[in-house]
Structure 1
Amino acid sequence: MTVPHRAPSERLASSRRQPLLVFAGQSNCPLAQAICANLGVPLGKSKTEKFTNDNIIVHYEESLREGDVFVVQTFSTPVSDAIMELLLLIDAAKSASAGRVTAVIPYFSYARSDKKDSPRISIAGRLVADLLQEAGADRVLTMTLHSPQVHGFFKVPVDHLSADRVLSAHFKSCVPNAHDGVVLAPDAGSIKRASQIARRLNSGLAMIDKERLSDTEVRPRALIGDVEGKTVFIVDDEISTAGSLVETVSIARSLGARDVYVAVTHGVYTGPAIERIAALDVTQVASTNTVYVSPEKIAASNGKLAVLDVAPLFADAITNIHVGQSVSTLFE
């Protein structure tokens, strides 16, 4: 029997568990507010200040005792401040007798540091996981880790959300006959994600094969698949400086792609990214709001940037965690 879907606020109202409390660090308050709007609960009151010596202090302005606390903090610029603020918020919540503390990290930037691929470096993804657990996080909720194995760095439960449903729906809204297009993976590491979106669109699939020349230099070698005369959907986990994106679009265009749409989970957009996107031969570059994209960046992109909302997905996941239901059902 199919169980009818109820809004997060309806399911929370029927729950007799400890109170649900959602707080936000300073890195992405708009997303936290949107999550709370979907949950039908107010954003909790907290205050973060920085002393003249650059030390951070956090303070909750309401009782957390026995509450089910969710702290929303994405690891965006300045990343070190965001991490430190989250650690302090977790520690303060545990000291205030919170019943459970979940770190909601929409963008876990240190997931890129998941292995020792050169001598004498730190596996920073594991280190940050250890810090979060030492601070007192009882579980973690995140989205689209650059390397899924980072999940294994944690000894507490981790719920790893996917934006595939949101990205696929966006492509369908942009291109009514999206099934005639091709989803293009910019490298072998993105092929699984691209394949899942291609199945959702019932479209074709292609991949760019790259050759690593050194630790810092990668060269495209071949395209596996056919994009000639097709609408191409480029998907990836994130865009940082947009260097790889420029390269991928150039290859797709040189091989006869008709229209190019880009969608990623995390729009970090650092350095020359906005200038590169503004000059890029694409119809649109979309990212979700796991990372805050300012109106100034959108305006400077020559009308090419779009931001997709994943707050409803996070709200559903938080509701399921709070009432003790499976998070994986959100992807069925």
Structure 2
Amino acid sequence: MKIISGTGHRVLAEQIAAAAGADLCDVDITRFPDGEVFVKIVENVRGDDLFIVQSVSVNPNEYLMELLIMIDAAKRASADRITAVLPFYGYARQDRKDQPRVPITAKLVANLLVAAGADRILCVDLHAQQIQGFFDIPVDHLYASPVIVKYLRSRDLDDLVVVSPDAGGLKMADAYSKLLDAGIALVGKQRKSATDVEANHLVGDVKGRNTLLVDDMTSTAGTLTAAAKLLEKAGAKSIRAAVSHSLLTEQGIDRLKGSPICELVTTDTVPQREWTSFKVTVLSVADTLAEAICRIHNDQSVSSLFRV
């Protein structure tokens, strides 16, 4: 078993390799003067079970191309099996045609990964469960919820209500509510643009209760902050948010500062910036991914990793 990493999130890759008891193999990744990516796997990987860690976030075009080229390099170097480890699966938002003449980029990325030579995919909290069906190769889909729930239980939040900030996240909210033995509520929203959201109705009782907004990702925090304002208006005692992937922009940070959300709980599936003016708790998924990698290598079940 060998692990290599792109430049998408090398810190996490190093933590995964350390937790898995393996060395992170050297890879030379540079750019030609015109911006083309050059990759050379420094160590011999012939006949190895190779895991390539790359989080396709922040600069998704660059990191996706890096990943595809690394997979191709590994395939031509005669690696026995190539597993693409994507803590964050980029381009997952577009998973269906919801209007005329738009692409399904989640499927396009799946096709590219398979065409490049990936034999298996390991990922965390896909934007939509059905993306697994876009692949004709095995997909191990892990969840950040065991890590997040363990932390939330330590906070002893009594009389808790888990809130879905939109209808699409209701299934995730239901899973969290069962794990935390909490109530459940739903916020209805209307998206005006890619960055602006209007929350216009709430289903469920949150008055005088601790609330937890859950979502798979946030970037501009429009959905979270709009839902939080509605919860505040409904008399919620406290408002927290838990997201698997925090891709916050400057606009998102400013929105969180001015919102009634008192804490954002997230994971390190994507690189995190320094926080000074807003309470953010970043939990690590390195141990979970390392355990999954070891189990895949040893042909063992990974289903036990879903337990809290």
Percent identity of equivalent pairs: 40
1:145 partner SS: coil
Q: For residue 323 of structure 1, what is the aligned residue in structure 2?
A: 298
Distance, in Å, in 2 between the alignment partners of 1:214 and 1:160 is 30
Relative distance call for 1:327 and 1:271 in structure 2 (3 A) is same
2:287 matched to which residue of 1? 312
Letter in 2 for 1:294: R
Letter aligned with residue 299 of structure 2: G
CA contact (8 A) 2:106 2:131 kept: yes
1:150 corresponds to which residue? Answer: 131
**Contact 2:195 2:220 (8 Å CA) reproduced:** no
Q: 2:38 aligns with which of 57, 70, 78?
A: 57
Match of 2:18 among 37, 44, 57: 37
Deviation at 1:56, TM superposition (A): 0.5
- Pairwise CA distance, 1:197: 1.0
Is the aligned partner of 1:241 residue 2:216? no
Query: Post-superposition shift, 1:180?
Result: 1.7
The answer to whether the Cα contact below 8 Å between 1:277 and 1:304 also exists between their aligned partners in 2 is: no
Comparing 217-226 with 99-108, which one deviates more in the overlay? Answer: 217-226
- Which consecutive unaligned segments of at least 5 residues does structure 1 have? 1-19
2:181 paired residue among 202, 205, 210: 202
Per the alignment, residue 15 of structure 1 pairs with none
CA RMSD of aligned residues (A): 1.6
Residue pair 2:256, 2:278 contacting (<8 A) in 1 also: no
CA shift for structure 1 position 274 = 1.4
Q: Which residue of 1 aligns with 2:113?
A: 132
Q: Take 1:216 and 1:45, find their aligned partners in 2: how far apart are those partners? A: 39
Amino acid at match of 1:202: D
2:20 alignment partner AA: L
Provide the C-alpha distance between the structure 1 equivalents of 2:250 and 2:263, rounded to a whole number of angstroms.
Answer: 19
Aligned match of 1:73: 54
- What is the match of residue 3 of structure 1? none
Change (3 A) 1:250 1:101: same
CA distance in 1, matches of 2:11, 2:192: 41
2:69 aligned residue:
88
TM-score, normalization by structure 1: 0.89
Once the two structures are superposed, the pairs formed by residues 98-247 of structure 1 within 5 Å of their partners are 98-173=79-154, 175-176=155-156, 178-211=157-190, 219-247=198-226
Deviation at 1:212, TM superposition (A): 6.2
Paired residue secondary structure (2:84): strand
Aligned 8 A contact 1:186 1:208 in 2: yes
Equivalent position SS for 1:109? coil
Alpha-carbon shift at residue 280 of structure 1 (Å): 2.2
**Corresponding pairs, count:** 307
Give the drift of 1:81: 0.5
Contact preservation (8 Å) 1:179, 1:202: no
Contact 1:179 1:201 in 2 (8 A): no
User: Structure 1 residue 273 and structure 2 residue 248: aligned?
Assistant: no
Letter in 1 for 2:300: Q
CA distance in 1, matches of 2:195, 2:22: 46
Structure 1's 322 and 198: CA in aligned 2 closer, same or farther, altered over 3 A? Answer: same
Q: 1:211: how far off?
A: 4.8
Aligned residue identity for 1:308: L
Question: Aligned ranges for residues 254-273 of structure 1 at < 5 Å?
Answer: 254-273=233-252
8 Å Cα contact 1:69-1:102 kept in structure 2: yes
